[in-house]
Amino acid sequence: MSADEFDVIRTLFAPLASEPGARGLLDDAALLEGGPFVITTDAIVEGVHFLATDPIETVAMKALRVNVSDLIGKGARPHAALLTLIWPQHRPAEEIATFAASLGGELAHFGMRLLGGDTTSTPGPLTISITAFGAPLGPRTPSRADAKPGEDLWLIGGEIGSAWLGLQLRSGAMTLGELRRGRDEAAALIESRAIASQMPDYLKLPNEDFDAEAAWLMSTYLAPFVRLECAPIIARFAGASMDISDGLAADAQKLAAASKVALRIEANDIPFSIPAQRWFETGGDFRKLVTGGDDYVVLFTAPPEARAALLASEKGVALRLTRIGAVEAGEGVSLVDRSGAPIPIPDPGYSHRLGR
Amino acid sequence: MSADEFDVIRTLFAPLASEPGARGLLDDAALLEGGPFVITTDAIVEGVHFLATDPIETVAMKALRVNVSDLIGKGARPHAALLTLIWPQHRPAEEIATFAASLGGELAHFGMRLLGGDTTSTPGPLTISITAFGAPLGPRTPSRADAKPGEDLWLIGGEIGSAWLGLQLRSGAMTLGELRRGRDEAAALIESRAIASQMPDYLKLPNEDFDAEAAWLMSTYLAPFVRLECAPIIARFAGASMDISDGLAADAQKLAAASKVALRIEANDIPFSIPAQRWFETGGDFRKLVTGGDDYVVLFTAPPEARAALLASEKGVALRLTRIGAVEAGEGVSLVDRSGAPIPIPDPGYSHRLGR
C-alpha cells in the first residue's frame, strides 16, 4: 500500500523535529539560528553505497552516520540534519516507518534534531541525501589542507579494514572458511548453530550460517561505528583532519595533495581489527584493507609535542587512537614496512567516475 | 568519456564557490557563519519533476529556482547553496560542464554562492538535491500557519497556469492548433517559419514547429521564473506565506489546513496569462490551470489595511501582485465565480504517493 507524502511527514518524521525552527516540518522552510555551523552533505544510493538487500534500518543508520563522521572529522558536535528521502515507486511504503524509527533512534543517539527535508518518489534506486549541521568545538575547524612537515599522522575512532571484510562476507565474495582460517573452526560452528536462530537475517552470511565475528564485520559495513568522543580531541589537537570514507590510502592521498605535503604511513602501525590481522597473516592481502573503503575513522595530523597530551585525552574512552606515520616535505603517500622499505599501493579497484 | 568526480569538483564547481567558508569545495565540510538563516531543501528527479528530454541547462535552472522560490516565499534573500548531484552512470559526462555553467549563471543571477555539496553516480535517473540558505529580510519569517480570518489573500510573482500549458505542449499532450484557437493562425505560421531555425530545440514543439508563445509557455515549465523583488514585500506585509509548487488549489489547501482557516478564491481574479485566458475562453477547462503545478509564485495573506501600501510597493516592478480572495473562519478552499457560486475543484490527477 503506497503512502501519502504529507501523511508520512506528519506521522513519521515530524515527531523527530523537536527544534522550534523546524516548525514541525509542516512549512516550506526552516529557521536555523545560532551558529557558526560546520555543514556537510552526503548522499547514499542503493547499488552504489549500499546493497539493495541491505535492511532499511541500517540504510537509515548509514545515511546519517556518514554525515556525522564528516562533522567529527572537523571537530564539531552534531546539531541538526535535513533529510531528503527519494523513495522508489516500487519499494513497499511500509518500510518508510521502519526507516523513520531507525533514523529517529540515530538522531537521538547523536543528540541531533531533524530540521526539515524533502520526500519524493523516484523510478530509480532508493537515494538518501542528508545535510548535517555541527557546532565547532574549537576556535578553528581543521581542513584537509592544514598538514605541515614534521607533524605526526594519527588515526582515531576505530579500525581499518573491518568494513571491507564485512562487505566481502555480506556480498558472498569471501567465504566463512576464509575468514576462519587460523581460528578454531569446531568451536565456531557450535556457537553458530546455537545463536543463529535469534539473529536478524542481515547478520547472517549468504549461506544462512551465523558467525559472531562475521556479523560484527558485516555490521561495520552496514552501519559504520562513529564515535562522538573523537570530536573534542580533533578540535583541540588536529592540524589537518578528515574522515576516511574511501579507504585509508586514497583519503591520505587527498590530505597530502590538499596540504602539499608527503605522508609516510608505517604499515605495521595501522590499527587493524583482530580478524583483519588474522586474515592477512594467513594469506590475505593486507593492502586490500588499506585501499578498501567504508572505514569512517578520522585521519589527522598533530605536532610531536602534543603526543603525551593526545594519548592522555583518550584515556578510558578506547578510541583506538594510533600514531601511524608522519608528515614530510614532498608529495604523495608512501606505505613502508618495519625496515622502511616502500610497499606498493595497488589501485583500489573502484572509482569515482561520473557518467559515460 | 566519463569524468573523475574530483576533477569535476575542482574544475567545474569550485569556481562557483567564492565564499571563504566553502574552502574551494576541497574539504569534507564547509563553514556557515552569520545567520540566522532560512533553510530549505528540494530535490528534483528525472521522470518525476522534469522530463528525460529536458535540456541539462534548464534542469540546472529548475533545481536551483524551486529552492529560491521557497526562500522568496518566506521573505528571505538567497545567500548560498549546497548541491548534491546524483549523475546517471549512462549519461554523458560532458553534460556536467553544461550543467555547472548553467548553475553558475543562476547562482550569480540570484546573488548566491556555492558552499559545498556531494557528487555521486547512480544506476537510476538524474537526481539533484539542493539545500538553500537565505537571509530573512524581516523580523519574522512567515509560515503557512499564520493566516487569520479577515485577511486578504494575494498572489505575487507571476501567473497561474502557464507552466501547466507549457508541459502539455512540450509533452505533446496539447497541439499547437489547440493553443492557437482564437489567434490569427496564418500570421503565427509565418512567424514560426521565419525564426524556427534559430531557436534551441527545447523551445520547439514535438512536431518541430516553433511558436513564440508556445516557447514562452514551455520556458515557464522548464525553468520557472522567480522574482527576488517579491521577497522584501513578503517580509514586510505577509501574515501567512508559501510558494505555489503543486498547483494553486492544492497549495491553498495546505495553507488553510496549517492555519486552521478557510480560503475563498475568486476565480475571476486569478492572474492567468494571455494565452491561458484565451485557451479556456475557447473551450479549455480553466480548472486545470488552477490544479496544475509548477507555477512557483507566492501565495500570501495580509490585513485589508495593508492594501494601499502593498500595491504601492509593487509600483514599477510588475510582479503581478493580485488580490485573489479572502481568509475566513472555517476550513478548506472554495473557488467562487463572479456571482459567489462555488466552482467544484477537480482532483489534480497527480499524486504525492510514496512506494507501493
Q: What is the DSSP string of B66-108?
A: HHHHHHHHTTEEEEEEEEEEEEETTS-THHHHHHHHHHHHHHH
Which three cell numbers mark B142? 512567515
- From chain A, pick out residues whose CB is under 8 angstroms from the CB of B354: 2-5, 8, 87, 93, 96, 119, 121
- From chain B, pick out residues whose CB is under 8 angstroms from the CB of A258: 26-27
Distances (CA, A) of A88 to A8, A42, A244, A288: 15, 19, 29, 33
CB count, 10 Å around CB of A318?
A: 9
| pLDDT at residue A26 tops 90 | no
The reply to whether residue A45 touches residue B120, judged by beta carbons under 8 angstroms, is yes
pLDDT band (50, 70, 90) for residue A197: low
Q: What is the pLDDT of residue B186?
A: 57
Which three cell numbers mark A342? 616502500
Which pLDDT tens digit goes with each residue over B278-289? 999 898 998 999
User: Residues 299 to 328 of B: which have CB under 8 A from any A CB?
Assistant: none
Distances (CA, A) of B84 to A294, B121, B127, B131, B307: 20, 11, 8, 8, 41
pLDDT band (50, 70, 90) for residue A153: very high
Regarding pTM above 0.95, the answer is: no
Mean pLDDT, residues B9-20: 83
Which three cell numbers mark B32? 556557515
Interface size, chain A vs chain B, as Cβ–Cβ contacts under 8 Å: 270
> B141 touching A, CB under 8 A?
yes
| pLDDT at residue A104 tops 60 | yes
The mean pLDDT of chain B is 90
Which is higher by pLDDT, A259 or A28? A259
Mean pLDDT, residues B316-335: 94
**What is the distance between the terminal CA atoms of chain B, rounded to a whole angstrom?**
37
The DSSP 8-state label assigned to residue B338 in this structure reads T
pLDDT band (50, 70, 90) for residue B216: confident
3-class SS of residue B298: strand
Mean pLDDT, residues A169-183: 86
Q: What's the full length of chain B, in residues?
A: 356
Cα separation, A103 vs B23, whole angstroms: 30
Report which of A147, A154, A140, A141 is spatially closest to residue A258, judged by C-alpha positions.
Answer: A147
Instruction: Please name the residues in contact with B235: beta carbons below 8 A apart, sequence gap of 6 or more.
Output: B75, B76, B136, B137, B138, B142
The mean pLDDT of chain A is 90
Q: What is the 3-state secondary structure (H, E, C) of chain A?
A: CCEEHHHHHHHHHHHHCCCHHHHHHCCCCEEECCCCEEEEEEEEEECCCECCCCCHHHHHHHHHHHHHHHHHHCCEEEEEEEEEEEEECCCCCHHHHHHHHHHHHHHHHCCCEEEEEEEEEECCCCEEEEEEEEEECCCCCCCHHHCCCCCEEEEECCCECHHHHHHHHHHCCCCHHHHHCCCCHHHHHHHHHHHHHHCCHHHCCCCCCCCHHHHHHHHHHHCCCCCCCHHHHHHHHCCCEEECCCCHHHHHHHHHHHHCCEEEEEHHHCCECHHHHHHHHCCCCHHHHHHCCCCCCEEEEECHHHHHHHHHHCCCCCCCCEEEEEEECCCEEEEECCCCCEECCCCCCCCCEECC
Mean pLDDT, residues A132-158: 95
The reply to whether residue B33 touches residue A38, judged by beta carbons under 8 angstroms, is no
Mean pLDDT, residues B189-194: 58
Which three cell numbers mark B221? 515549465
CB B123 within 8 A of CB A51: no
Which three cell numbers mark A92? 513497499
Mean pLDDT, residues A143-163: 95
Which three cell numbers mark B302? 495580509
pLDDT over 90, % of chain A: 66
The DSSP 8-state label assigned to residue B160 in this structure reads B
The DSSP 8-state label assigned to residue B13 in this structure reads I
Best probe of the B interface among A67, A354, A356, by most B CBs < 10 A, is A354
CB B13 within 8 A of CB B24: no
| pLDDT at residue B352 tops 60 | yes
Half-sphere exposure (CA, 13 Å, Cβ side) for B246? 18
Report which of A45, A54, A113 is spatially closest to residue A85, judged by C-alpha positions.
Answer: A45
| pLDDT at residue A58 tops 80 | yes
Look at the block and give the residue holding cell 562522538.
A228
Q: What is the pLDDT of residue A191?
A: 60
A85 phi/psi in degrees, rounded to 5 = -110, 115
Q: What is the pLDDT of residue A310?
A: 96
User: Nearest CB to B5: which of A40, A136, A354?
Assistant: A354
pLDDT band (50, 70, 90) for residue A350: low
User: Nearest CB to B3: which of A39, A143, A354?
Assistant: A354
β strands within B306-355, DSSP E: 322-328, 332-336, 342-343, 353-354
Cα separation, B34 vs B242, whole angstroms: 25
The reply to whether residue A356 touches residue B92, judged by beta carbons under 8 angstroms, is yes
CB B242 within 8 A of CB B286: no
Look at the block and give the residue holding cell 533529510.
A83
> Rounded to the nearest 10 degrees, how much is the dihedral formed by the CA atoms of B349, B350, B355, B356?
20
pLDDT band (50, 70, 90) for residue B313: very high
- From chain B, pick out residues whose CB is under 8 angstroms from the CB of A231: none
Q: What is the pLDDT of residue A327?
A: 98
pLDDT over 70, % of chain B: 93
CB count, 10 Å around CB of B6?
A: 13
Which pLDDT tens digit goes with each residue over A32-44? 988 899 999 999 9
| pLDDT at residue B290 tops 90 | yes
| pLDDT at residue A349 tops 70 | no
Best probe of the A interface among B122, B126, B350, by most A CBs < 10 A, is B122
CB A233 within 8 A of CB A314: yes
Q: What is the pLDDT of residue A80?
A: 95
pLDDT band (50, 70, 90) for residue B35: confident
| pLDDT at residue A188 tops 70 | no
Cα separation, A9 vs A116, whole angstroms: 10
pLDDT over 90, % of chain B: 66
Q: What is the pLDDT of residue A292?
A: 85
Measured N-to-C along each axis, helices A162-171 and A212-222 cross at an angle, to the nearest 10 degrees, of 100
Report which of A289, A221, A291, A288 is spatially closest to residue A250, judged by C-alpha positions.
Answer: A291
Q: What is the pLDDT of residue B96?
A: 95
Mean pLDDT, residues B122-143: 96
Distances (CA, A) of A190 to A169, A206, A351: 19, 18, 40
Mean pLDDT, residues B345-351: 71
| pLDDT at residue B189 tops 70 | no
Q: What is the pLDDT of residue A351?
A: 67
Mean pLDDT, residues B16-30: 81
Identify the weakest region by mean pLDDT among A59-63, A276-280, B258-262, B309-313.
A276-280
Residue A298: closest C-alpha in chain B: B28
Sign of the Cα torsion B349, B350, B354, B356 reads positive
Q: What is the pLDDT of residue B289?
A: 92
Cα separation, A163 vs B153, whole angstroms: 56
Mean pLDDT, residues B287-313: 94
Question: Between β-strands B353-354 and A30-32, what pairing exists: parallel, antiparallel or unpaired?
Answer: unpaired
User: Residues 249 to 278 of A: which have CB under 8 A from any B CB?
Assistant: 254, 258
Q: What is the pLDDT of residue B356?
A: 83
| pLDDT at residue A123 tops 80 | yes
Q: What is the pLDDT of residue A86?
A: 97
- From chain B, pick out residues whose CB is under 8 angstroms from the CB of A34: 35-36
| pLDDT at residue B328 tops 80 | yes
Mean pLDDT, residues B76-98: 95
The reply to whether residue A84 touches residue B125, judged by beta carbons under 8 angstroms, is no
CB A85 within 8 A of CB A119: yes
